[in-house]
Homo-oligomer: A and B are copies of this chain.
Amino acid sequence: MDKRIKRALLTAAPALCTACSPALKDASERPNIIFFLIDDFGWTDSQVAYGEEVYPYNLRYDTPNMLRLAGKGAIMTNAYACSLSSPTRTALMTGMNSAHERITTYGALVRDTPTDAAGGTTGIINDNLDDPFARSDWNWNGLNPGDTLIDHSLQATPLARLLKDSGYFTIHVGKAHWAPAGTPGASPYNMGFTVNVAGSNAGYPRSYLSEENYGNTKELWQGNAVMNLTEYYGGDVHLTEALTREALKTLDYPIAHKEPFYLYMSHYGTHTPIQPDKRFYQKYRDRGMDDGQAKYASMCEGIDKSLGDIMDYLEKKGVADNTVIIFYADNGGHSIDTRKGGIAHTQCLPLREGKASVYEGGIREPLLVYWPGKTVGGTRLNTPVGPEDFFPTILDIAGVEDYETIQKVDGQSFANLLSKGSEYVAEQIGTVEGGASQKEANRFVIPENVSGLDPLRPIVSHMPHQWRIEDQPDIDFMDAVRVGKWKLIYRMHNVLEMKGKGLEEAIRNSVFELYDLEEDISESKDLAPAMPEKAGELARILGERLRSWNAAMPVIRSEGRTVPYPDELL
- Interface residues of chain A, those whose CB is within 8 Å of chain B, are 110-111, 164, 167, 169, 181-187, 189-190, 194-197, 200-201, 213, 216-223, 225, 227-235, 246, 249-250, 252-253, 256-257, 259
**Complex: A131 Cα to B256 Cα, angstroms:** 53
In the complex, which of the residues A201, A220, A228 has the most CB atoms of chain B within 10 Å of its own CB atom? Answer: A228
Q: Which of B186, B225, B234 is A221 in contact with, Cβ under 8 Å? A: B225
Whether the pair B234, A181 counts as a contact (CB closer than 8 A) is yes
Whether the pair B111, A234 counts as a contact (CB closer than 8 A) is yes
**Complex: A259 Cα to B220 Cα, angstroms:** 44
Query: Closest CB-CB distance, A97 to chain B, in whole Å?
Result: 26
**Which 5 residue pairs across A and B have the least CB separation, nearest first?**
A181-B233, A227-B227, A186-B230, A182-B234, A187-B231
Whether the pair A228, B231 counts as a contact (CB closer than 8 A) is no
**Complex: A220 Cα to B216 Cα, angstroms:** 10
| 18 more CB-based (< 8 A) A-B contacts, given A182-B231, A216-B223 | A167-B257, A181-B213, A181-B231, A181-B233, A182-B233, A186-B230, A187-B228, A187-B230, A189-B197, A189-B249, A190-B249, A194-B250, A194-B252, A219-B221, A220-B221, A221-B221, A227-B227, A257-B259
Whether the pair A246, B181 counts as a contact (CB closer than 8 A) is no
Known A189-B246, A234-B181; judge A169-B225 contact (CB<8 A): no
Query: Closest CB-CB distance, A29 to chain B, in whole Å?
Result: 18
Q: Which of B195, B218, B231 is A194 in contact with, Cβ under 8 Å? A: B195
The count of identical subunits is 2
In the complex, which of the residues A169, A223, A227 has the most CB atoms of chain B within 10 Å of its own CB atom? Answer: A227
Q: Which residues of B contact A185 (CB under 8 A)?
A: 231
Q: Which residues of B contact A233 (CB under 8 A)?
A: 110-111, 181-182, 186
**Complex: A213 Cα to B109 Cα, angstroms:** 12
Known A194-B252, A195-B195; judge A186-B231 contact (CB<8 A): yes
**Complex: A217 Cα to B189 Cα, angstroms:** 22
Some 21 contacts from A to B, beta carbons below 8 A apart, are: A110-B234, A111-B233, A111-B234, A181-B230, A181-B233, A181-B234, A182-B230, A182-B235, A187-B230, A189-B250, A190-B249, A195-B195, A201-B230, A216-B223, A217-B221, A218-B222, A220-B220, A220-B221, A221-B221, A227-B227, A227-B228
Q: Which residues of B contact A234 (CB under 8 A)?
A: 110-111, 181-182
Known A167-B257, A218-B220, A223-B216; judge A230-B189 contact (CB<8 A): no
**Complex: A164 Cα to B257 Cα, angstroms:** 11
Query: Closest CB-CB distance, A86 to chain B, in whole Å?
Result: 15
**Complex: A228 Cα to B194 Cα, angstroms:** 13
Q: Which residues of B contact A216 (CB under 8 A)?
A: 221, 223
Q: Which residues of B contact A111 (CB under 8 A)?
A: 233-234
Across the interface, name the chain B residue whose C-beta is closest to A235.
B182
Across the interface, name the chain B residue whose C-beta is closest to A165.
B256
Q: Which residues of B contact A235 (CB under 8 A)?
A: 182
**Complex: A304 Cα to B110 Cα, angstroms:** 32
Q: Which of B221, B231, B246, B256 is A218 in contact with, Cβ under 8 Å? A: B221
